[in-house]
């Protein structure tokens, strides 16, 4: 069904952008070009893709929505519990704001969210928009409450709401609707001046055909939400007709490459559907916890729940997640050390 294809597209698009950008995270555009060339395949460990916190937190949000689709308080409690369990399994690449929030959850502190303007809430928000694409009140209520589990800075919260709103517009509007129309609709919900001005700048750059390098310099590519969300917006508006090309452009600009590409990938998947994403690359993502099979099962569950059919929320194996994280730590550390070598 169309709804399932768009929800699966958002989740699989997140995974695709995350896995493609992971090996380049924190690198400059020049370093990425020298070491990887154009990033159109996975580079962390051979040709297999691995997802990180961007995809995993998106999956936890989807799981919580499937368990409590009509009760925002219970959904938030479920997400808070699952986030703590996930954090205890030693994931890598977690932002400082999310780390602090998870510690607060473990200590029983309320509120758990911290005053951080990182992109941790935004990177996982697209699935909220796709699930509630025709229900704006619920989209805002659930989107805000889930964002504030980790981030309470108004810029971070509105960044997450904007990501959800744009995903909703991509999923809800008729096929073939230009990305500019979807973004115009989403822009209306942003009231924080700094974020709004950055989004307008990104839109202007895209519509006048600016290069990705020019947009990266103007928007910023860091994990600051006022950089990441507008830069991903530029990628969607400038290159969104070709998902792999768009992701390669955004990743090649450097910075917080996995999160920037995860946000963009979610919008591309919501706009075009999972069936339009590069199947060979999706199939090369490691299919363990939070892999393509799990993400498709979550999308199927959410689509059925939307249709009024009660469906259990797919779970993942905590033991396998821990084993995978521990096994890959040497690889992740090796990539980090490799970045300091000047050739």
Q: What is the pLDDT of residue 339?
A: 66
According to the model, what pLDDT value does residue 130 have? 97
CATH of the domain at 143: 1.10.4080.10
Nearest Cα to Cα of residue 179 among 123, 248, 259, 234:
234
Mean pLDDT on 29-52 = 95
Query: Angle at the Cα of 102 (from 163 to 219), degrees rounded to 5?
Result: 35
**54 labelled ligand-binding:** yes
- Domain membership of residue 92 as a residue range: 3-340
* pLDDT(342) > 80: no
- Between 320 and 92, name the one with better pLDDT: 320
| Residue 52 labeled ligand binder | yes
Average pLDDT in the 62-76 region?
Answer: 98
Peptide bond preceding 111: is omega within 30 degrees of 0, i.e. cis?
yes
Instruction: Categorize the per-residue pLDDT at 1 as very low, low, confident or very high, splitting at 50, 70 and 90.
Output: low
- Tell me the mean pLDDT in the region 190-210: 98
pTM here is 0.97
Quick one: pLDDT at residue 333? 85
Percentage of residues in the chain having pLDDT higher than 90: 90
What is the per-residue pLDDT for 340?
66
Is residue 133 part of an annotated ligand binding site?
A: no
**Strand, helix or coil at 72?**
helix
Choose the weakest-confidence range: 218-227, 265-274, 321-330: 321-330
Q: Is 18 annotated as a binding residue?
A: no
Which residues does 104 contact at the CB level (< 8 Å), separation at least 6?
A: 111, 112, 114
Count: domains in the chain: 1
**Lowest-pLDDT range of 121-130, 174-183, 293-302:** 174-183
Does 256 belong to an annotated binding site?
Answer: yes
Predicted confidence (pLDDT) per residue in 225-235, tens digit: 999 999 999 99
Q: Is the pLDDT of residue 174 over 90?
A: no
Half-sphere exposure of 212 (CA within 13 A, CB side): 19
């Amino acid at each position: 069904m169309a709804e399932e294809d768009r929800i699966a597209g958002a989740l699989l698009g997140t995974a695709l952008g995350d896995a493609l950008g992971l090996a380049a995270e924190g690198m400059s555009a020049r370093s990425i070009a020298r070491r990887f060339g154009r990033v159109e395949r996975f580079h962390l460990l051979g040709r297999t893709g691995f997802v990180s916190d961007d995809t995993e937190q998106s999956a936890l949000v989807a799981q919580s929505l499937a368990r409590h689709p009509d009760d925002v308080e219970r959904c938030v409690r479920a997400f808070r519990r699952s986030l703590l369990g996930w954090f205890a399994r030693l994931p890598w690449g977690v932002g400082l704001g999310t780390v602090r929030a998870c510690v607060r959850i473990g200590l029983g502190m309320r509120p758990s969210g911290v005053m951080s303007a990182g992109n941790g809430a935004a990177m996982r928000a697209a699935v909220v928009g796709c699930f509630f694409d025709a229900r704006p009140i619920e989209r805002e209520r659930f989107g805000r409450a889930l964002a504030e589990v980790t981030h309470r800075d108004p810029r971070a919260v509105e960044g997450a709401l904007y990501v959800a709103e744009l995903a909703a517009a991509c999923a809800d509007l008729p096929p073939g609707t230009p990305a500019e129309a979807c973004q115009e609709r989403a822009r209306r919900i942003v009231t924080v001046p700094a974020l709004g001005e950055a989004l307008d700048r990104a839109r202007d750059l895209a519509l006048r055909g600016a290069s990705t390098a020019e947009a990266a310099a103007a928007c910023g590519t860091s994990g600051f939400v006022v950089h990441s969300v507008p830069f991903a917006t530029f990628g969607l508006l400038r290159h969104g007709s070709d998902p792999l090309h768009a992701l390669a452009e955004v990743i090649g600009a450097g910075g917080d490459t996995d999160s920037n590409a995860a946000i963009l990938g979610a919008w591309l998947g919501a706009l075009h559907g999972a069936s339009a994403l590069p199947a060979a690359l999706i199939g090369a993502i490691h299919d363990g916890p939070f892999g393509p099979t799990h993400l498709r099962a979550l999308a199927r569950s959410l689509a059925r729940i939307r249709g009024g059919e009660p469906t259990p929320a797919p779970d993942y194996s905590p033991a396998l997640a821990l084993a995978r994280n521990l096994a890959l730590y040497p690889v992740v550390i090796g990539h980090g050390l490799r970045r300091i070598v000047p050739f």
